[in-house]
Amino acid sequence: MNSRFLAATAGFALIFTAALPGQAPKPAAVKSGKITRTPDGHPDLQGVWTNATLTPMERPTQYKDKATLPDAEAKAYEQKELDVNNIDKPDAPLLAAAGSGSGATAVGGYNNLFMDRGSELARVDGVKRTSLVIDPADGRVPAMLPEARTRNASMFRNSFNNVKDRPLAERCLVGFSSTSGPPMMPVLYNNNYQIIQTADVVMILVEMNHDARLVRINGTHPPASVHQWLGDSIGHWEGDTLVVDTTNFNDQTRFRGTAEKLHVIERFTRVDSNTILYKATIDDPSTFTKAWTMEFPFVAAQGPVYEYACHEGNYAMTDILGGARKLEGEPK
């Protein structure tokens, strides 16, 4: 990360206000058992859920031939990840890299206070996964097309010129596209969701930036000319799995550089009283060489979901743009 980027983005972490540690919903102590059903006979997906996990999106190179890990090896990996993010450990790598102070006073390390990535790798079918990506089999996101790289480079070339060029999350319009979804991915913190289900609509309240997704059961998509921040989601049941089809994205969502042609298919399967298995297939022929799929669990959590208040004044935006103007005025 170069000094220009650091200076221009100074203060970014101050934009968001989240629940302090100890306030966020924790995994619920619910025993696995027979799943409950709604009056219309479908599995009941309602409740508060978390998808926090230490499993990275793409498989680390040291596990290139290992899609899963035995519990003993997984525990060692998990402990290493927890040590890296431990703000109370003075020699934690992330804090040491900050270059000033130690522990909670380390410059650059204060954001660890708000991180909530969980404490374990994602467990699916009884084993720990090394990546969220399951297809391709190597656990890696397919290559981006050259035209997509060019498109994204042009979008961010002048990203410090004005407020409207900055990312949506910085502007408090929507949460990180990878949490609000689709797809709904775990990030550094606020990985909680509340689902309310009726026969006609499934509502998913996303903790990050309090976005609300409405999935219309047996609905139809609007004309292709209609674009929405989170796309248009319609759902149907395939046996005990809720399948959600989302299209009609606008050109600003940009999940991993995607464009308006993004098409996401999500599958929600209640595997037991404590778990929803979530699978999402991402297809954008204008961005990736082929479609790809992720899979990971949503685990029952003790609610409620606390309010996520994006900073009303958005003071960091002034710092970001001001930093860019200062850099522009410095001798080359």
Round to whole Å and give the CA distance between 149 and 159. 16
Is the separation of the CB atoms in 115 and 32 below 8 Å?
no
Close Cβ partners of 209 (under 8 Å, ≥ 6 residues apart): 169, 172, 174, 175, 176, 180, 308, 310
Q: Mean pLDDT throughout 159-177?
A: 80
Strongest mean pLDDT among 55-59, 96-100, 174-178? 55-59
Domain 23-53+132-310 has CATH 1.20.1050.10: no
Instruction: Please tell me the distance from the alpha carbon of residue 197 to that of residue 181, in angstroms, as a whole number.
Output: 18
Per-residue pLDDT tens digits for 8-33 = 333 333 333 344 333 344 444 344 45
Question: CA angle, corner 296, sides to 290 and 298, nearest 5?
Answer: 135
Q: Taking 60 as the threshold, does the pLDDT of residue 121 lie above it?
A: yes
254-308 pLDDT, tens digit per residue, is: 788 898 899 999 999 999 999 999 999 999 999 999 999 999 999 999 889 988 8
> What are the tokens at 294?
């992720």
3-state secondary structure (DSSP) of residue 137: coil
Six-digit token pair at 23? 């306030």
Residue 43 has pLDDT above 70, yes or no: yes
Alpha-carbon span 107 to 100, nearest angstrom = 5
* Helix H or strand E encompassing 331: none
Write down the number of H helices and E strands in the chain.
6, 15
Q: How far apart are CA 331 and CA 196, in angstroms?
A: 56
Q: What is the mean pLDDT of residues 137-162?
A: 88
Cα angle: 151, vertex 155, 161; to 5 degrees:
160
pTM for this entry: 0.83
Residue 165 has pLDDT above 80, yes or no: yes
At residue 113 the predicted structure's pLDDT band, cuts being 50, 70 and 90, is: low
Cβ atoms of 297 and 277 within 8 Å: the answer is yes
The domains of the chain are located at 23-53+132-310
**Average pLDDT of the residues of the chain:** 82
> What is the average pLDDT across 122-145?
97
